[in-house]
Amino acid sequence: MHCTTLPLSALEPWSRLNDVTYLDCQTRKFEDARGKGLATLKKLSSQNISERPTLLIIPHDLVLSAEAVEEFAKVDQHLKELLTAAGGQASLKTGLRRDIMLFLLMQITCHPDGQCVGVRNPWTEYVKFLPIHIPVPTMWSEEESMMLTGTSLQPALVAKKSALLLEFEELQDRTSSIAWCRKFWWENHALTLEDWTLVDAWFRSRSLELPKSGEAMVPCLDMANHSVAANTYYEQFSSDNSVTLLLNPDVDVEAGSELTISYGYAKSNAEMLFSYGFIDESDKTAQTLVLPLETISEDPLAKAKVIAFKGQPVVRITAKQDDITWESKFLYFMILNEEDGLEFKVLQDVDGSRSLRVFWCGKDVTDVTDTFQSLIKSHELEDIFTLRVLTLLDDRVRQQIEHLDDTVTAVRELSSVVEIDPNVEKNALKLRASEALILQKAADNLQLQASYSRAGKKELLRSEVVIGYLGSNIDDDETDQHETNDNKQIEDDFS
């Protein structure tokens, strides 16, 4: 689909027409990867004043939320038809995303003869100010995506791209019988997967969480770039649900300086790159790495565990200077076997349907499969379970290091063989370096395991339960000398 764009100079009249108020600031273009952003027109200060300076006010009727799309559909027959055929369940987060994406898709829909579809609204013009290339990995070329080989982002990107393809095919299936969709989208293949990928990237990189409207897109406020040292924040007024941008307390901002918000303090570099297409240079705080976990291939309960688990099968490792911590609800479920007391049953419900139930030591724990870390507490084999968790974690970290190492040369040589956007290369290399550092710290610091759990690996090796479980008769004095061998034996036993 050909997207028309408007120059930035047209944003001011658009804002005036739609009652957006700018106070001492404007949207301007930055000559680097940040693209457009907000900047002050004069020196501002919030020092020693009780009322924080307001910078931007956006009326509620411009906020693009699930509720707004529903309202638009009341007056737009084409949108209504589209939502009925292909809309998501607005009560679900995924449904909200899908409805907003469909709405955005309609705004960029125009026939080659210049005819547009649907009822015009402020967003029909506003989408023309949005960038048509967003540096998120879903919009990278195949060659550029190869820069991520070996990182935690690679499997997420593969999964996201196949999800986008599935969604796009489903959209075609569900809307081929609608006359206007056939004419504007499917005849001559006017609508492409790239268009769907673009609206997904718009939603991902520009949506905000608002206290009253939920996840939404807010015109003009979505021109604010991110900084870890953000000097502004946004609020939604309860009186009229309008959205405002305010200066942070106790800050001075020079005339012409950029006004930034925070896109989230706890996001990992991979999440930042995935959702926004950049990694903040100045982010020196905690670094997080989220690794997907695969069940053990020989585990007969593997499939059932994945189905029954309430959450993501991942481990989140955080490095704050030399301090390493980790968190994984799945690992504690993953390491349990039938002999330990884990059981799966398919039961018939009162309505005749069948459901998979999970039992731990005879108790139904189907609804709390993400709490095995506490469920195993005070079990006689708790030490064994903890040791299995630590061993698997150790294996997973080392496997990821190898994966990242193995691809270093190929990635380094990529840009000399194929065309890679320098900004993509810079961000991908930054991600690789930060992940390598976290992984190395995690692997080197075997002491970290002591901080992970109440009982460190070393202590666990001395645990009577572990020794008994392994049928070994190592006494305390000999433990240290035999540790290497024990480690090996335990690793063979648990891997």
Ligand X SMILES: C[S@@+](CC[C@H](N)C(=O)[O-])C[C@H]1O[C@@H](n2cnc3c(N)ncnc32)[C@H](O)[C@@H]1O
Q: Which residue has the tokens 């027409």?
A: 17
**Contact code string over 399-438 relative to ligand X, x by CB under 6 A:** ----------------------------------------
Please write down the long-range contacts of 139-146, taking CB distance under 8 Å and 24 or more positions apart: 139/197, 139/198, 139/201, 139/277, 140/421, 140/424, 141/419, 143/414, 143/418, 143/419, 143/420, 144/420, 144/421, 144/424, 144/425, 144/428, 146/410, 146/411, 146/414
Binding mask 28-67 for ligand X (x = CB under 6 A): -----xxxxx------------------------------
**Distance in Å, CB of 35 to ligand X, minimum:** 3
96 near ligand X, rule: CB under 6 A? no
Question: By the 8 A CB rule, do 353 and 359 touch?
Answer: no
Q: At CA 413, angle to CA 409 and CA 418, rounded to 5? A: 145
Q: Is 278 in the site for ligand X (CB under 6 A)?
A: yes
With respect to ligand X, which residue has the nearer C-beta, 11 or 467?
11
Q: Which of 277, 392, 424, 474 binds ligand X (CB under 6 A)?
A: 277
d(CA 145, CA 425): 10
> Token pair for residue 313?
């099968």
Does 292 sit near ligand X (CB under 6 A)?
Answer: no
The yes or no reply on residue 293 touching ligand X (CB under 6 A) is no
Question: Measured from the CB atom, is 36 or 267 closer to ligand X?
Answer: 36
Say how many CA atoms lie within 13 Å of 368 toward its Cβ: 11
Nearer to ligand X, 259 or 474 (CB): 259
CB of 37 to ligand X, least distance (A): 5
> Stretches 131-139, 159-167, 413-421, 479-487: which one binds ligand X (CB under 6 A)?
131-139
> Token pair of 149, please?
């080989």
Sole binder of ligand X in the list 222, 271, 435, 486 (CB under 6 A): 222
* DSSP codes, 61-119: GG-B-HHHHHHHHHH-HHHHHHHHHH---TTSHHHHHHHHHHHHHHHT-B-TTS-B-S-
Shortest gap between Cβ of 235 and ligand X (angstroms)? 17
Do residues 226 and 262 lie in contact, with contact meaning Cβ atoms separated by under 8 Å?
yes
Q: What burial letters (b/e) apply to 442-470, b meaning 16+ CB within 10 Å?
A: beeeeebbbebbebbbebbbbbebbbebb
Q: Which is nearer to ligand X, 206 or 329 (CB)?
A: 206
Smaller CB separation from ligand X, 152 or 275? 275
Which candidate, 263, 264, 210, places its Cα nearest to that of 236?
A: 210
Least separation, in Å, of the C-beta of 424 and ligand X? Answer: 12
Per-position x/- string for 307-346, each x denoting binding to ligand X as judged by CB under 6 A, each - no binding? ----------------------------------------
Binding range to ligand X, per CB under 6 A, among 44-52, 272-280, 406-414, 431-439: 272-280
Q: Does 226 bind ligand X (CB under 6 A)?
A: yes
Spatial distance between the Cα atoms of 375 and 363, rounded to a whole number of angstroms: 10
Binds ligand X (CB under 6 A): choice among 122, 135, 150, 313: 135
* Residue 457 interacts with ligand X (CB under 6 A): yes or no: no
Among 72, 126, 184, 276, binds ligand X (CB under 6 A): 276
**What is the rounded distance in angstroms from the CA atom of residue 303 to the CA atom of residue 145?**
30
Q: Which is nearer to ligand X, 172 or 423 (CB)?
A: 423
Contact footprint for ligand X (CB under 6 A): 33-37, 131, 134-135, 205-206, 222-223, 225-227, 276-278, 280
